[in-house]
Amino acid sequence: MLCAANLPVLAHAQDAAASTDSSGGVDAFDYGNEIIVTASKRSQTLQDTPIAVSVASAAEIENAQIRDLIDLQSAVPSLRVSQLQSSANTNFIIRGFGNGANNAGIEPSVGVFIDGVYRSRSAAQIGDLPNLERVEVLRGPQSTLFGKNASAGVISIVTQKPQYDFGGSVEATYGNFDAITVKGNVTGPISDTAAFSIGGNYNRRDGYAYDVNLGTDVNDRNRWGLRGQLLFEPTDALSIRLIADYDKIDENCCIAGNVIAGPTVAITNALAGGPSVDANNPFSYRVYNNFLSTNEIENYGGSAQIDYDLGNLALTSITAYREVRADTNQDSDFTSADLIGQNSQQLGIDTWTQEVRLTSDFDGPVNFLVGGYYFNEKIDQKNDIRFGTHFRPYGDQLIRAASDNALNVAMLEGTLGALEGAPTKYVGSFFRAGDGLDEAYRMSNTAWSIFGTLDFEFTDRLMLTVGANYTKDRKRFATNVISNDVFSGVNLDAAAYTPFRQALLIGAGVDPATAAFLAANPTMTLPDGSSANPLAGLKAFQFLPPFLNLPNAVEDGRTNDSDLAYSARLSYELTDTVNVYATYATGFKASSVNLSRDSRPLAADLPAITSGGLRTPNLVAGSRFADPEESEVYEAGLKAQWSVAALNLAVFKQSIKGFQSNIFTGTGFALANAGKQSTFGIEFDGSVRPVRGLNLTLAMTYLDPKYDSFVNSAFGDISGTKPAGIADLSMSLGGTYTHEFAGGTRAIFHADYLYESPVRIVEGLQGIPQAVADSLKREVNQLNASFTVALTNGLEVGVWGRNLTNAQYLTTVFPAVAQSGSVSGYPSQPRTYGGTVRFKF
C-alpha cells in the first residue's frame, strides 16, 4: 500500500544512515530505519512529527504503480481526487473538504507544493514527475508552516536532489490500450561542489472509450515532460538548488456517460438521425459526440532554492516563476446532435512566488521558525461558446413542448418583431448556428504573509508549539463578455408584447378582463406561485443573456482580504516508542472570483445598478466572487512505532466557515458560500510485520460531515444535511512480501485494496426530483497488485494491474447541458494492466 506512514523506510537517500540496494537507491525493506519527513519544515522522523500526515516513498510508488496524483487516493483514504471535464480540471479533497476545479478564479482549498513551490491550479499539478523521493499528504488546515495558506490540507511532493555519485534509472512500461510509458533520469557530479540531474517522461495510451458517432477511440493519454536540476555547494554552509521543468499534454479528455435519459433525448435522437447517447448506460464506455474534445496544456517554470547554514540558524530562500497555457475545447452537450458547436477556453496563468524562512536549532528549550511569503499571479482567460447547427431546431422543439405547441421559433420571431414595429427584425436569428458568447476575463492576485512557529520544550518529553500566519490578499478582476444570442436578449416582460401575452392568455381560457390585467403586469406572481406572464416559461431557454461587465460604476472588481491564522500544539512522548499530541489550528483561504459566464451582480447591488442605468436585459442576481474560507480544527493523535508494528491514530473535529461551493446547474455554475461545513472524523493507519519480508498495512478514515448552515445553496436551504460525495468509511488494505534469494535477487509482491462505503454523489440536480438525485450513489471496491523481480545488476522486471476488480462507479454526476431531465456523469477508469522493465545504475 502506498501509505508509508507506518513503513520504517528512510526517505532521504542522501542520509548516510540509510542502507542502499545494489543500484544505489534506498532499500525500502531495511527495517532498521525510519521515515524522515519535512512536513514541519524540519527533518524529523514521522513518529516525532505531531501532524496528521501520510507519506509515500519512491519505492512504494513504484510497487503500487502509482501513475499520477489521481492514483494516490488508492492508498490515502483521507484523500479523494476527481478528474472532471478536462485534463486541466482535477479536484483534490482531504477529509471531505476541497474545491477549485471548473473555474480559474477559484483557488483550491487543498494546496499542492512541488519541491516547496506552490502550484496554484490543477493544470500545473498533474504532470508525471520523474525521480520522486516521496509524497507527503498533510491533513487539516496548514497555515503556520506554509506561507501560502491551505484551508483543508496540503499535498507536498518532493523529488530527489542531484547526487554526487553517478547513477540513474530507465523504465519502460507497456499495458493494455496500447499504453506506453517511458521514464528516465540520470544524476552525477560536475565537480566536487556541484552535481546535476536530468529526467524525462513520456506517457501515451489509446483511448479506453469509443465514440460511436465519430468512429474513434477517446479518452486517450498523451503527455511528456523534462526536468533538470543543478546543485551547487561551494561551502559546507551554502547550498543552491536550481530546478527547471516543462510538461506538455495533448490528449482527448474527458468522456461523460448518460446516467438518466430525459425527455430531450427523443429530440436529440431525431436531430442526430439515430442514437445521440447510449441511454442510461454510463459504463458502456461508448459515447456519441459530433467533434473531438481537445486538451492542449503546457506547464513550465523554474525555481531556485538557497540554503545557508548559520550555525544554530538555517536560512532558506525559494524563488519560483511558473507559467501555464491551456487550450481546451469540448462537445459539452455530450450528444451526437450538434447542439453546442464550440465550448473552448484559452487560459494563461503566470505565477511568481518568493519564500524566505529562518529556522533555529538551539540546544536550549526554545526554538523558532519565522518566514515571509510573496505571491503574485496573473490570469488571462478567453472563452467561446457557440450554438451548433442543430440548436435552432432543438430550441424550436423546446419551445413547442413548453407551450403545448402554441408557439414555435418562427412564430416568436415574426410576432415579437412586428410588435416592435420591425417585422423582419428577428427572422432567422433565434438560436442561430455560430451565435453565443465571446468571453474575456483578467485577474491579478497579489498576496503576502508573515508566518512562524515557536517551540517550548518544557522537558525532554513535553513540547508546546505555537504558530501564527498573517496574510494580506488583494485581487483585481475585469470582464469583457459579449453575447450575440439574440433570443436571450429579448425582454419577454416588455410592454410592447402586452397584446401578444393577452392573446395567449385568452387562448388558454382566461377571461378577457383578467387577461388584459395580467398581460399588463407580467412580473406579477399568481397565488399558486406561477408567473402572470404566459411567456415566462420561455425564459429558461434564454441561455446566454447580455452580460453586465465590470468594473463598472457600482462594482469595482476588487477584493481585499486579511487574516490572522494561528495554531497551538502540545506533544508528549509517553515512551521512547509512543507519542501523543493535541492540536488547535485555524486556516484561511482568500476570496475566490467567479471568472465565468455565470458571474452575476450580488442581489444587494442590483438596485444601484438599476438606478445607475446599467441594467442589461434579463439580468438576475448571482455572485461575482465568494467570500473567504475560515477553517478550524481540534485534533488529538497518537503515534507509535515498535520493532514489528506501528500505528497512527487521529481524532478530529474540523470545520470551514464560508466554504466556497461551486455547483453546476445544467446551464452554468453557482458559486456561493456555505455558512459552515463541519466534519467529525477518526483516522487510523497501522502496519505489522509478522515475519521477515512481509509487511501488512491498514489505513481507515471515518467521516461524519454536515452542513451546519447553508441557506443559499443552488438547491435552497440545505442546512443540517450531509454534504454529498463524502463517504462515511474509506479503507485501504495492503500488503508487500519480499523474498530474497541466494545471491541477492529479490521477488516483490504487492497488493492493495481500496474501499469506500456507498455515498450520495450530489446534493441535488436541477430539473430532477430530489429522490432520484439522492438515489445516485458511489461505492468503490478497487484492487491493485504488482509482482516484481529485482536482480542484483539493477535490472527489475515486473507485471502490474490497477482496478483488477474492474470496479465501476461515477466520480461525479451533473445535469446534462441544456437538456432538462437528463443527467450525465464521469465514469471511473476501467481495468488497466501491463509489464514494466526498469534498470537502475
Coil, strand or helix: which one is 771? helix
What pLDDT is attached to residue 71? Answer: 75
Task: Read off the pLDDT of each residue in 164-191 and give the average, rounded to a whole number.
Answer: 96
Contact criterion met (CB below 8 Å) for 417 and 423: yes
Query: Is the bond into 423 cis (omega within 30 degrees of 0)?
Result: no
pLDDT bin (cut points 50, 70, 90) of residue 18 is: very low
Contact criterion met (CB below 8 Å) for 103 and 121: no
What pLDDT is attached to residue 124? Answer: 60
What pLDDT is attached to residue 441? Answer: 97
How many H-runs (helices) and E-runs (strands) does the chain carry?
8, 42
Task: Read off the pLDDT of each residue in 792-807 and give the average, rounded to a whole number.
Answer: 94
Q: DSSP characters for 33-62? A: ---EE-TTSS-EETTT--S-EEEEEHHHHH
139-153, 375-389, 720-734: least confidently modelled range:
139-153
β-strand 110-114 against 153-159: which pairing, if any? parallel
Neighbours of 297 (CB within 10 A): 23
Distance CA 604, CA 286 (A): 47
What pLDDT is attached to residue 417? Answer: 96
Q: All domains of the chain, ordered by start, with CATH?
A: 4-338+347-376+384-389+438-482+550-818 (2.40.170.20)
Tell me the pTM.
0.89
Task: Read off the pLDDT of each residue in 90-119 and give the average, rounded to a whole number.
Answer: 84
Contact criterion met (CB below 8 Å) for 399 and 409: yes
C-alpha distances out from residue 579 to 570, 649, 670, 673, Å: 11, 11, 45, 38
| Per-residue pLDDT at 56 exceeds 60 | yes
| Per-residue pLDDT at 818 exceeds 50 | yes
Please count the residues of the chain. 841
What pLDDT is attached to residue 364? Answer: 87
Task: Give the model confidence (pLDDT) of 229-287 as tens digits.
Answer: 999 999 999 999 999 999 999 999 889 999 999 999 999 999 999 999 999 999 999 99
Distance CA 403, CA 399 (A): 6
pLDDT bin (cut points 50, 70, 90) of residue 24 is: very low
What pLDDT is attached to residue 663? Answer: 79
Distance CA 834, CA 707 (A): 43
Task: Give the model confidence (pLDDT) of 174-185 as tens digits.
Answer: 999 999 999 999
| Per-residue pLDDT at 11 exceeds 50 | no
Quick one: cell of 379?
490570469
82-86, 336-340, 599-603: least confidently modelled range:
82-86
Quick one: cell of 296?
492542449
Task: Give the model confidence (pLDDT) of 535-557 as tens digits.
Answer: 999 999 999 999 999 999 999 99
pLDDT bin (cut points 50, 70, 90) of residue 48 is: low
Task: Give the model confidence (pLDDT) of 401-453 as tens digits.
Answer: 999 999 999 999 999 999 999 999 999 999 999 999 999 999 999 999 999 99
What pLDDT is attached to residue 17? Answer: 30
Query: What percent of the chain is modeled with pLDDT above 90?
Result: 76
Task: Give the model confidence (pLDDT) of 756-773 as tens digits.
Answer: 999 999 988 888 999 999
What pLDDT is attached to residue 50? Answer: 75
Task: Give the model confidence (pLDDT) of 622-675 as tens digits.
Answer: 999 999 999 999 999 999 999 999 999 999 999 999 988 887 776 677 788 989
What pLDDT is attached to residue 127? Answer: 62
What pLDDT is attached to residue 666? Answer: 67
Distance CA 731, CA 702 (A): 9
pLDDT bin (cut points 50, 70, 90) of residue 89 is: confident
* Residue 828: DSSP 8-state: P
